[in-house]
Structure 1
Amino acid sequence: MNPLLALAEAASSWQHSPISDDVDRAVRRALLDWFATTIPGCVEPPAILLARVLADSSQGNAICYIDGRRVSARQAALLNATASHIVEFDDIFKDGGYHPGSPTIAAALALAQDRGASRDQLHRAIIGGYEVGCRLSLAIQPSHYAFWHTTATVGVVGAAVAAALLLDCGADRVAHAIALATSFAGGHQENLQGAGMAKALHAGHAAEAGLLAGLAAAGGVTGSLDSLHAPAGFAAATSASTGNWQAALEGIGEWTPITGMTVKNHGCCGHIFPALDGLRLLRQRESISPDQIATITIEGYTATKRMCDRPVVGTAQEARFSAQYCLAADMILGGVRLGAFTPEAIAHPQIRALMPRIAVVEDEQLAVAYPRRRMARLLVSLKDGRDFVHLQQTRKGDPEDPLTDHELIAKYDELTSGLLIPEAAAMLCDQLLCGKTLPGELRLHRP
């Protein structure tokens, strides 16, 4: 079976298939979580810088949440997806190492607003975009992640599928949208891990390029239908094989990925989460205070060591990818949310004093279990000579330990606090979780 055609067929089936209660709940939660992470990004660079550059270049019916303008669907997708990926709170499909919400929802919402689509059409497009993007990530991971940022690459395909579904494409046109999107995909690890602001633009570009692929396919533009699995196709070019399509297509038609998302509980790289959660549990159980800590060793999988072993940080972006900083900040500040990444927090003397006591090493057994299992083993030594070992096998927010609706709403309330007046925040929350109309304009308080 051609995997591209199988994925296109699965996506197009969401245009008319019954939506079960659990899938309906999942897509509504995904939308609320997208706004929770997008709104705080709307007042941060690079989103505000990019919005200024493009301020006079586009008109349409889609909403740019950064500055409130009505713009074209492509520009809204670019800008809103960029904003949604800045503060590191966007959802995760953990088995594929992929953030589907930032590009997929940004593209779908922008096109739905621009074309006057219904809320039901928006939901179906998002479900289909998640279906294809998440399953594609299973085919190419974990080797894809060695050089490529999955959200930047696979995100183009997820956004393209969502756009094609909103444009009422059948399976054949959806297939060409996927094929075209594979040639638009880009975004390498240096711009994820290194200095600069490019990482957030990865999601923005994915949303805009995916929209272009969907529009082109709807207009009759074609691509190679062997684009995913051919010897010179997307999987071969960006991973160690031509794709693990058995993993990607397993259970297709029986379950859909949007029901298995991770909702982020911390505002940092997800590879730090198991260590954060494990240290919280250990400190609570043993009544350990920060001043008792002699050393902490985090034994993690490959990405924990490669991406998050950052003993020295100077910026918020570096801090969000530093296990040393995040564990120290959690102990001192009581959380790793937006307030942990202000200049004052990053310079906090107690956090700085704790960071040199924390080390990160790779554990071969934990590395083998990745990406399906994201674990960390903590070796904690206290100044009084006591030693503790704790294996954290899950992350709060993963499907195995999900955030409740109450916890998700609390996250949304916290991240939008000070940017939306409480009444407006409550109305939007209710509309996203219970409403039947498209979300519209928001009036943000800007620093």
Structure 2
Amino acid sequence: MDNCAAMTKEVRAVTQLIAEFVYATEWADLPDEVRHEAKRALINYFAVAFAGCKDSDIDTAMKLLKSLHPGGRGGFVGRSEALVMLDAAALNAMSANVYDYDDTHIPTIIHPTGPVASALFALAEETKISGEQLLLALVLGMEIECRLGKALHPWHYQRGWHITSTCGVFGAALAAGKAIGLDVRQLAWAIGNASAQASGLVETLGSAAKSLSVGNAPRNGLLSALLAQRGFAGPECPLEGTRGFLQVMSDSPKFDELTHELGGSWAVLANTYKPYPCGVVLNPVIEACIALRADKSWTYGQVCRVELIGNPLLRERTDRPHIKLGRESQVSAQHAVAITLATGMAGLDQFSDAAVADPVLRATYPLVDFYDDPDCSVESATVRVLLDTGRYLEHRVASAKGGLMAPLSDSDLVEKLTILAKRSGSTINVEALVEAIWSLDRSENAGAVMTLATER
């Protein structure tokens, strides 16, 4: 109580207002475009979960968790193993995140669907939830997750907190709480329980540990809601308290981002989907390099220097010239530039251990220089290439494919799912899975979607 006493009335009400909003919002309140975007988010979610499901680090985590928690009936996308509920939530989110191919909310750079959808599908296989209930909970969880990110932006990420993990746990908690019918008080408790488990560090990017915290977000969010359902109480002001999440995790939290136009504007409509498996700030760089390579009047061996002009986040997150692994290459501008200028491609094979080991590519890494432009969005960049003849090549991408100004179409997302499911070696019926997602709001059993996505 003392923790909240120093806050203004408006700030003091934030946790309560959010709980009331989540509790009161119904499917009928969602605009058609929001409903459709939720389904698009799920198409992309299953696509990227297939991409990562056979990754060696994911396999290591799965085998350990199965040995610790045998049994269960939770589905694991692209695989035949059945898992206990919390492990299913964690591993599916880890798979969806491990190759940095997941969705991205602008401007927070949160990957919002993985933590929320993973919690909901794990829950849906234990408790019967309709497709409409799951989609509503998904939208609401993503809404609060992203609003928290906007309240913390940009200080939170700059401090080194991995925002998908730290905010994702709240999205998962509220989504799960909505799906199981928590009342306002219990939803506030779920927020409080999640606040005690919000963690993840940017320092882990480029390592398997990065996806560990992303997996903990749905695991801990789901746990937070289930505990609240049983009367496990959180603090009164977990978000706005003087030692609460927002005050501790940001230099100057913007409380109005949590409530401004709440229910009138929707975060899912600011969600984007990647055409390349790497950090989103690299998308315009890759697109520019592919465009430059289309000019056949020069060769890769002529490159003397490469200048990258973009948002400061491009340099801050991807200036990594000393990488050794494919995992690290997903957040290395040096590698992204080298591989796309050399091959004109930027798929999963181009961000692999083998690609990083190529000495011809590595020789280009030291040639990359960064120039910050604070007025440049994270979706745009300019690439300038100096050749040994003294000639400069230049290409600017104002808005990369997959961004808000050039979004992937429904068919693009279905193609992504089809390609990545096939690449995983899965034998699942992709057409049936796609149809189940597009018609999910008419299904009485949301858990059936996960069954279609597994080898069980």
TM-score norm. by structure 1 comes to 0.91
Counterpart amino acid of 2:98? I
CA distance in 2, matches of 1:239, 1:173: 26
For the pair 1:89 / 2:101, whether they are aligned, the reply is yes
C-alpha separation in 2, matches of 1:286 and 1:393: 23
Structure 2: tracts of 5 or more residues without a match: 1-9
Whether 1:295 aligns to 2:308 is no
Q: Report Cα offsets for 1:47-68 as digits up to 9, x if no partner.
A: 2111111214144442133642
Secondary structure at the counterpart of residue 310 of structure 1: coil
Equivalent residue letter for 2:39: R
Answering whether residue 171 of structure 2 is matched by residue 161 of structure 1, we say no
Deviation at 1:87, TM superposition (A): 1.2
Counterpart check, 1:130 vs 2:142: yes
Paired residues of 1:419 and 1:444 also in contact (CA < 8 A): no
Cα distance between partner residues in 2 of 1:288 and 1:250: 52
Confirm or deny: 8 A CA contact 1:137 1:248 kept in the other structure: no
Q: Which moved more, 1:287-296 or 1:227-236?
A: 287-296
Correspondence 1:118 to 2:123: no
Corresponding pairs, count:
437
Partner of 1:273: 283
| Map of 1:207 onto structure 2 | 218
Q: Which residue of 2 aligns with 1:12?
A: 23
- Whether the 8 Å contact between 1:420 and 1:444 is mirrored in structure 2 is no
CA distance in 1, matches of 2:173, 2:255: 20
Q: Scaled by the length of structure 2, what TM-score is found?
A: 0.89
Work out the CA distance in 2 between the residues paired with 1:60 and 1:167: 20
Which residues of 2 match residues 36-55 of structure 1 at below 5 A?
36-55=47-66
Q: Secondary structure at the match of 2:40?
A: helix
Which residue is 1:139 aligned to? 151
Secondary structure at the aligned position of 1:417 is classed as helix
Match of 1:378 in 2: 383
Assess, with a 3 A threshold, how the Cα gap between structure 1 residues 287 and 110 changes in structure 2: closer, same or farther.
farther
Contact 1:152 1:206 in 2 (8 A): yes
**Can you list the C-alpha shifts for 1:100-135, whole angstroms capped at 9, x where unaligned?**
111111001110121121111111111110011011
> How far apart are the structure 2 equivalents of 1:182 and 1:404?
36
8 A contact 1:14–1:125 mirrored in 2:
no
1:106 maps to what in 2? 118
Change (3 A) 1:77 1:422: closer
**Displacement after TM superposition at 1:381 (Å):** 2.0
Matched, 1:412 2:417: yes
Q: What CA RMSD, in Å, does the superposition of the two structures yield over aligned residues?
A: 2.3
Partner residue in 2 for 1:71: 83
- What is the CA distance between 1:349 and its match in structure 2? 4.4
306 and 418 in structure 1: CA distance in 2 versus 1, 3 angstrom threshold: closer
Residues 184, 443 of structure 1: alpha-carbon distance in 2 compared, 3 angstrom cutoff: closer
Q: Deviations over 1:202-244 (max 9, x none)?
A: 1111110001111111222222232112221111111112x20
- 1:443 deviates by 7.4
Tell me if structure 2 keeps the 8 A contact 1:8–1:132.
Answer: no
Distance change (3 Å), C-alpha of 1:58 and 1:167: farther
Task: Give the letter aligned to residue 82 of structure 1.
Answer: M
Aligned AA (1:330)? T
The letter for the 1-side match of 2:41 is A
* Deviation for aligned residue 1:433: 2.4
Deviations along 1:331-378, whole A, 9 cap, x unmatched? 333322211123332233442343333222333444xx6xxx543232
Matched residue type, 1:329: I
- Structure 2 vs 1, CA of residues 236 and 418 (structure 1 numbering), >3 Å: closer, same or farther? same
Check whether the contact 2:51–2:423 (CA below 8 A) recurs between aligned residues.
no
Deviation per residue, 1:418-446 (Å, 9 max, x gap) = 3355761222122222344431335778x
Change (3 A) 1:424 1:13: same
Tell me, yes or no, if structure 1 residue 313 matches structure 2 residue 326. no
Distance 2:348 2:298 in 1: 25
Aligned to 1:396, the other structure's residue is in SS state coil
Q: Give the whole-Å Cα distance in 2 for the aligned partners of 1:173 and 1:348.
A: 54
2:357 pairs with 1:336: no
8 Å contact from structure 1 (residues 275, 378) kept in 2: yes
Shift in Å at residue 80 of structure 1?
A: 1.2
CA distance in 1, matches of 2:425, 2:395: 40
Matched residues in 1 for 2:122 and 2:389: separation? 57
Amino acid at match of 1:290: Y
Q: Distance in 2 between matches of 1:304 and 1:334?
A: 21
Of structures 1 and 2, the one with the larger relative CO (CA 8 A, separation 6+) is 2
Give the distance between the partners of 2:113 and 2:332, measured in 1 at CA.
23
C-alpha contact (below 8 Å) 1:68/1:442 kept by paired residues: no
How far residue 257 of structure 1 moved from its aligned partner, in angstroms, is 0.9
In the TM superposition, structure 1's runs of 4+ consecutive aligned residues that sit over 6 Å from their partners are none
Aligned to 1:440: 450
Determine if contact 1:46/1:200 at 8 Å carries over to the other structure. no
Q: Which whole-Å CA distance do the structure 2 matches of 1:228 and 1:33 have between them?
A: 30
The residue matched to 1:377 in structure 2 has which SS?
strand
Change (3 A) 1:333 1:390: closer
Q: Residue 36 of structure 2 is aligned with which of 25, 28, 31?
A: 25
Change beyond 3 A, Cα 1:102–1:422: same
Going from structure 1 to structure 2, the CA distance change for 1:184 and 1:444 (only over 3 Å counts) comes to closer
Q: What is residue 190 of structure 2 aligned with on the other side?
A: 177
Moved more, 1-10 or 381-390: 381-390
1:399 correspondence with 2:411: no
